[in-house]
Amino acid sequence: MGELTIAKSAGFCFGVTRAVNMVYEAIEEENAPIYTYGPIIHNDEVVKDMKKKGVTVIDDLDELAAHKKGVMIIRSHGISKAEFDKIEKFGFKILNATCPFVSKIHRYVEEYSNKDYDIIIIGSPKHPEVCGIRGWASDKSRVTIINSIEDAQKFSDNSGKKLCIVSQTTFNYNKFQDIVEIIDEKGYDITVLNTICNATEVRQTEAKKVAHGADVMIVIGDRNSSNTQKLFEICKNECKNTYYIQTSDEMDYSKIGSNNNVGITAGASTPNNIIEEVSKNVRNEL
């Protein structure tokens, strides 16, 4: 008979739990319209539930003029300083659900930018966290986003300035080290701040271990979740039968044989009830 192993680190991380709780508490306590700037976390199921309870998602701050003033909750990924200022100018009350680990990166970028460093952000260029981080650099700093070994190899900075390197919190730790090494070998004066969240490192290391011993590996998370996409890549390298699903309905459980060892992990924005539902259906097959 096969075995099921569920990664201990699967599911909501500290920053996501905090952000989601802030929204539900605001629904209970605030006597005003409640908005989030962008989806509070990268999970459609959670965002749909909040919408049912009256939360409005604002995708463009220019929309604010057309809405009744209320409470704006900043998503866990964080936003730029200019966006912060714009929300305040519109007269909305701000509840900041930015993950504290992301807020720390904002402070680093602001500090080193003010010391006249150029900034390198290692991460996905279009990810909201990276867009937010970028917005804390001053105009006098050049900001470069590096997402791959190729980007690092092509990078050059002729300004003669020192460089401060930070990372998106959910970036692959080993890839981060490889990119830093390439930049370092170019001879720049660099300050490296490893801002990958410890929970991300733990989650990736554990996912790799579980996938290595699995015949079938299931990775649960939203399609837009950067950390889930990276978990899938890591697991796929260890177990060729790795499946990426958002909800239990997307999994074809007939792919699981009664003698299979099955592993499950989930991204930082995946609610526990979805993990439990998938686990229950896997156990029915074993």
Give the pLDDT confidence of 237-260 residue by residue, as tens digits: 999 999 999 999 999 999 998 889
129 catalytic residue (yes or no) = yes
> Catalytic residue among 25, 88, 129, 206, which?
129
Q: Both 91 and 21 in a single domain?
A: yes
**CATH code at 64?**
3.40.50.11270
pTM: 0.82
Mean pLDDT of 53-82: 92
162 and 217 both lie in a single domain: no
CA atoms lying within 13 Å on the CB side of residue 151: 16
Q: Output 266 or 14, whichever has higher pLDDT.
A: 266
Q: Number of helices (H) and strands (E) in the chain: give both, helices first.
A: 10, 12
In this structure, the answer to whether residues 237 and 186 fall within a common structural domain is no
Q: Which amino acid, 16? A: V
3-state secondary structure of 265: strand
For the cut 80, the answer to whether the pLDDT of residue 187 exceeds it is yes
Q: Is the predicted pLDDT of residue 1 greater than 80, yes or no?
A: no
- Residues 210 and 182 both lie in one domain: no
Residues 124 and 183 in one domain: yes
Sheet strands side by side (includes 216-220): 4-6, 262-266, 216-220, 242-245
Q: What is the arithmetic mean of pLDDT over 272-284?
A: 94
Let me know whether 119 and 152 are in one domain. Answer: yes
What's 125's domain CATH number?
Answer: 3.40.1010.20
91 and 53 share a domain?
yes
Per DSSP, the three-state class of 122 is strand
Place of tokens 């199921």: 45
pLDDT of res. 226: 83
Query: Region 50-54: what's the mean pLDDT?
Result: 95
Per residue in 75-116, pLDDT (tens digit) is: 889 999 999 999 999 999 999 999 999 999 999 999 999 999
Looking at the structure of the chain, the number of domains it has is: 3
Query: Using CA atoms, how far apart are residues 80 and 95, in angstroms rounded to an integer?
Result: 15
Given this model, what pLDDT does residue 186 score?
Answer: 94
pLDDT value at residue 286: 86
Give SS3 for 205: helix
Q: Of 142, 157, 192, which residue sits at a domain end?
A: 192
Q: Are residues 108 and 171 in the same domain?
A: yes
Shared domain for 137 and 154, answered yes or no, is yes
SS3 (DSSP) at 37: strand
Residues 211 and 153 placed together within one structural domain of the fold: no
Range of the domain at 84: 14-99
Same domain, 187 and 210: no
56 and 108, same domain (yes or no): no
C-alpha Rg value of the chain to the nearest Å = 21
CA distances (Å), origin 1, targets 208, 238, 242, 278 = 23, 22, 20, 18
Of the two residues 1 and 163, the one the predictor is more confident about is 163
Q: H/E element holding 108?
A: helix 100-114
